[in-house]
Structure 1
Amino acid sequence: MSADSFDTSLMPLATDNGTFPTELPPGHSPLKSPTYLKAITISMYSIIIILAVGGNSIVCYIVFRARRMRTVMNFFIVSLALSDILMAIFCIPFTFLANLVFNYWPFGKILCPVVTYLQVVSVFLSSFTLVAISLDRYIAIIYPLRRKLTKKQAFIVIASIWVVSFLIPIPTAVTSRSQKYVNTSTAPSFCEEILWETEGAKLTYNGVLFFLQYINPLVILIVTYGRISYVMWAIKTPGEAMSSRDQRMSESKRKIIKMMITVVVIYAICWLPLNIINFVGAIDIRIYNIRGMNYIWMASHWLAMSNCMYNPFIYCWMNAKFRNGFLRVFSCFTCGVIDCQDRLELERLRRQDTMLTSMNGNSNSSRRFNSSKRSSSNSKRSYCDYSAIKEKGIQ
């Protein structure tokens, strides 16, 4: 991988198996670690992949499965979940395999620019989506009389984020190549940005990436959520009496803001160490020769990558609708897919019957419906009652 490119796969690599010439690219040093430590690290990265892909996939399912969950806010959350899935697939496996298992780039010439490019894309998707969410909440709370973002407009914003995120890192794809530093058939290959005309151009590009993907979004997030927090918690209008409905809505907004602030804080903490190392390394590659830097980099990289698995836990912890959605999904695994589908259909029919009853004022039909369905559902509900009740919270 690149020793001086500003992307999530940055790691000075070398081989120390004794079969290759000792002359290696500048700044590359072998990652020497005991076998048990490599096994632990691989297990930790594998946990990230499983939880990130699984958890964020469930988040997407919850939003699109229940109509009431298809809100502007949740569409942005789905975009963030997709970016985390992309990161878990393209940032993590290739990086820890190249750095821990092989100590060189074993995936060929084609995958080198593709993987490096998609790694940077996934980082931009996450940071830009967080900014879009903060701006949407900022306008909704600071300027409540303005028209809210419609679903169509939200899709346009999300599409724009994805387009821009794929356009900005194009130089990374153009300049990344897999090459050998020793011209022998057994020499290892390294994936690096090698096609820059000058070191100054590469340094400028790395600085722009650092500003666009971390510094600028972080400043916007601090300003917007700082202002939102001040308005939501610090400002109280004298003599203003709030109805119980207004109080519930205000409390609901506070919970959403708390949840998103938690997401942003964890994002900033997770990415800070790796961004600092990458930026300093782009200026002076000799930092990678510091004793123990390989372990510092790997720990920082794991922390940054782990960010993509935390959000589903945050949603489940701080949002009742997502929590109920997760419980419903897990109950499907517990009860069986067929039983779960039958139960969901039963609940849908009950809601329809309840609506018809309230419209027609005919309570007898509801009792007849429930009586006819009770015998067929008792066996399934005996071990799925809790989930069936919770399901109403997200439908």
Structure 2
Amino acid sequence: MQSVQSRSQLCSARPSLPGNVFVVSLAVADLVVAVYPFPLVLTSIFNNGWGLGPLHCQLSAFLMGLSVIGSVFSITGIAVNRYCYVCHSLKYDRLYSGRNSLCCVLLIWALTLVAVVPSLHAGTLRYDPRIYSCTFAQSVSAAYTAAVVVFHFVVPMAIVAFCYLRIWVLVLQVRRRAKPHSRPKRKPQDFRNFVTMFVVFVLFAICWAPLNFIGLAVAWDPVNVAPRIPEWLFVASYYMAYFNSCLNAIIYGLLNQNFRNEYRRILVSLCTAKIFSVDSSNHVADRVKCKPSPLMANNNLVKVDSV
């Protein structure tokens, strides 16, 4: 009974701070496409074609691939972190110390670079007029496309699904074995934090599944399958996939109260700092206007003395 109660408390406790570095990694991956590739895509849409040269095309497509695979690996890291915290709680502090967590994030981005760099040499980063952007061309190399879909989407999503499934099973087992009066009282905030990351995973899988399934179909028979894919289906799946980068911030805002409070605090701080700087500048200007010049003061003193 004591072991059941101890595991119940561990399941209901809040994740440690080192686990949040994986969330930061996911945020960085989402931010990569917003800084450089997305503005170039908008420019291409307005100009009805790519007129920025091959260098920007390759760099834009490279950063998009970096963002996608970085997001996949970061979501996988989050799921493994939660799995170790709940299912292997006795080893969690040793496995996910501050230094080890940072090393894990660095490893995620090192693997991301290793996964994306071969696309530069394979010649798969090209401009696609259907979506007005430079991206990964699925029909260039069937073997490379299949490898990208399997190792950079199917396998990580399977790992994430296993981790969350094990977490749910363990939580249900603990609640079933524990007596009603000894069941842990979970804080609503703790439950929302877990649900938030689970929703992030589900939406990522939904948004990216159509484009990856198209990639598998093209890799199976590029000559016959690629021309038969409707243009509207490819365009819709492509923009739905990259729209996922905008959803994570919305999910955090809707499901995480800490995120909303922190966002509100930052806005209030910025507005307060701006108002304070304006008031300070106005106060300094008023003092300059009201303060007499030294020359006038000296003249007045001279006149008084003479009288």
TM-score (norm. length: structure 1)? 0.57
**1:342-353 matched pairs, under 5 angstroms:** none
Match of 1:272 among 209, 215, 224: 209
Greater share of helix: 2
Name the residue aligned to 1:232: 171
Deviation per residue, 1:182-227 (Å, 9 max, x gap): xxxxxxxx96889xxxx7xx22111111112210111111111011
**1:235-314 matched pairs, under 5 angstroms:** 235-236=174-175, 237-239=177-179, 241-242=181-182, 246-248=184-186, 252-282=189-219, 283-284=221-222, 286-287=224-225, 289-290=227-228, 293-314=230-251
**1:342-381 matched pairs, under 5 angstroms:** none
CA positional deviation for 1:326: 1.4
CA positional deviation for 1:177: 8.1
Query: Could you tell me how far apart the structure 2 residues matched to 1:177 and 1:276 are?
Result: 18
Name the residue aligned to 2:32: 86
Query: Could you tell me how far apart the structure 1 residues matched to 2:192 and 2:172 are?
Result: 12
Query: Could you tell me how far apart the structure 1 residues matched to 2:162 and 2:134 are?
Result: 38
CA positional deviation for 1:153: 1.0
Native 8 Å contact 1:113 1:176 kept in 2: no
SS where residue 89 of structure 2 aligns? Answer: coil
CA positional deviation for 1:88: 2.4
SS where residue 51 of structure 2 aligns? Answer: coil
Native 8 Å contact 1:112 1:176 kept in 2: no
**1:324-335 matched pairs, under 5 angstroms:** 324-335=261-272
Q: Which runs of 5+ in 2 are unaligned?
A: 1-14, 128-132, 278-307
CA positional deviation for 1:252: 4.4
Query: Could you tell me how far apart the structure 2 residues matched to 1:177 and 1:90 are?
Result: 20
Closer, same or farther: CA 290–97 of 1 in aligned 2, 3 Å: farther
Q: Which runs of 5+ in 1 are unaligned?
A: 1-68, 181-189, 341-395
Name the residue aligned to 1:321: 258
Native 8 Å contact 2:164 2:198 kept in 1: yes
Deviation per residue, 1:310-360 (Å, 9 max, x gap): 1122122222211211121232355453559xxxxxxxxxxxxxxxxxxxx
Closer, same or farther: CA 320–231 of 1 in aligned 2, 3 Å: same
Query: Could you tell me how far apart the structure 1 residues matched to 2:181 and 2:231 are?
Result: 59
2:178 counterpart letter in structure 1 = P
Pairing 1:159–2:106 present: yes
Match of 1:140 among 79, 85, 91: 85
Say which one has the larger Rg: 2
Native 8 Å contact 2:61 2:136 kept in 1: no
Query: Could you tell me how far apart the structure 2 residues matched to 1:179 and 1:310 are?
Result: 26
Closer, same or farther: CA 70–326 of 1 in aligned 2, 3 Å: farther
CA positional deviation for 1:175: 3.2
Native 8 Å contact 1:116 1:173 kept in 2: no
Root-mean-square deviation (CA, aligned residues, Å) is 3.2
Query: Could you tell me how far apart the structure 2 residues matched to 1:179 and 1:247 are?
Result: 54
TM-score (norm. length: structure 2)? 0.71
Paired residues, number = 253
Name the residue aligned to 2:10: none
1:82 counterpart letter in structure 2 = V
Native 8 Å contact 1:270 1:304 kept in 2: yes
